[in-house]
């Protein structure tokens, strides 16, 4: 569970929520980002109120109501992410069954291998390598499985048309350390892949001759669109088909050749 070890933050933090049953003392709760990665998916403030000392009171995170709020996770290193579950909170409804919180809608989960620098939804979208969208219907949780997404940073950001809060009972992300190399900068003096962006024609130039070279190109879904093997290679030109978007070029070979680079197809 890589989310439990992540460094987390959010665009703002609500610090004035209080709860009482009329008998026990009132609890004033600060809803910091860390409360969404503490292992408690309960999301019911009354249960947490009565179990104080056993679970954190108010064990969910919450931003203020604002335009395009966001929640960030930094996993500390590049991860290969398998799946995530994002848990909504619930609202008390007297003696009736509680209902899911209405705010849990219209947000996206972005993943990138570089930090998010923008604070707007459009900016985060442009910086992301992967995007998963929650629709306008509130549910108990939002899940995505079998992702094979590669990145260090995850951002959950609202795309709601008006001010809204982000409020999460728990964010669970499962993955493992990625053993390849993702950064284009590492190989900029060793491997040239151009033009980038491309319309499908791609030149690949290595810094020297390598043996047993495999070149694969795959999309964000992990689907391979091209796979070539070369007994030895210094330079080649490849043509690949596929829709416009982000692709990954994986190059492996003898002498520890192992590179993964991002390209954009127009």
Name the CATH code of domain 185-265 (choices 2.40.160.40, 2.60.40.3080, 3.30.70.270, 3.40.50.2300): 2.60.40.3080
pLDDT tens digits along 155-168: 999 999 999 999 99
Name the CATH code of domain 2-177 (choices 2.60.120.260, 1.10.520.10, 3.40.50.1110, 3.30.930.10): 2.60.120.260
Our CA dihedral for 204, 209, 213, 218, rounded to 10 degrees, sits at: -20
pLDDT tens digits along 222-261: 888 999 999 999 999 999 998 999 998 989 888 778 888 8
Burial 215-240 (b: 16+ CB within 10 A, else e): bbbbebeeeeebeeeeeebeeeebeb
Q: What is the pTM of this model?
A: 0.67
Q: CATH 2.60.120.260 occupies which residues in the chain?
A: 2-177
Q: CATH 2.60.40.3080 occupies which residues in the chain?
A: 185-265
């Amino acid at each position: 569970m890589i989310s439990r070890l992540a460094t987390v933050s959010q665009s703002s933090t609500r610090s004035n929520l209080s709860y009482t049953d009329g008998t026990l003392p009132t609890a004033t709760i600060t809803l910091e980002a860390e409360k969404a990665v503490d292992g408690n998916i309960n999301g019911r403030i009354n249960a947490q109120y009565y179990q104080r000392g056993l679970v954190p009171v108010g064990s969910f995170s919450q931003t203020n109501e604002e335009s395009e709020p966001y929640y960030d996770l930094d996993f500390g290193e590049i991860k290969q992410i398998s799946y995530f579950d994002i848990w909504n909170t619930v609202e008390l409804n007297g003696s009736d069954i509680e209902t899911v919180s209405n705010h849990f809608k219209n947000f996206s989960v972005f993943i990138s291998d570089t930090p998010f620098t923008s604070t707007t939804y459009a900016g985060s979208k442009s910086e992301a390598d992967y995007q998963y969208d929650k629709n306008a219907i509130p549910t108990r949780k939002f899940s995505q499985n079998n992702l094979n997404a590669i990145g260090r940073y995850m951002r959950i950001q609202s795309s709601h048309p008006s001010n809204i809060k982000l409020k999460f009972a728990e964010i669970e992300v499962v993955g493992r350390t990625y053993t390849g190399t993702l950064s284009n900068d590492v190989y900029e003096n060793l491997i040239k892949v151009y033009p980038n962006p491309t319309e499908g024609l791609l030149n690949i130039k290595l810094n020297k001759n390598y043996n047993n070279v495999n070149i694969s190109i795959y999309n964000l879904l992990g689907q391979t669109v091209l796979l070539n093997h070369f007994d030895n290679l210094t330079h080649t030109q490849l043509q690949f088909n596929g829709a416009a978007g982000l692709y990954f070029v994986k190059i492996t070979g003898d002498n520890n050749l192992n590179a993964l680079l991002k390209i954009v197809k127009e």
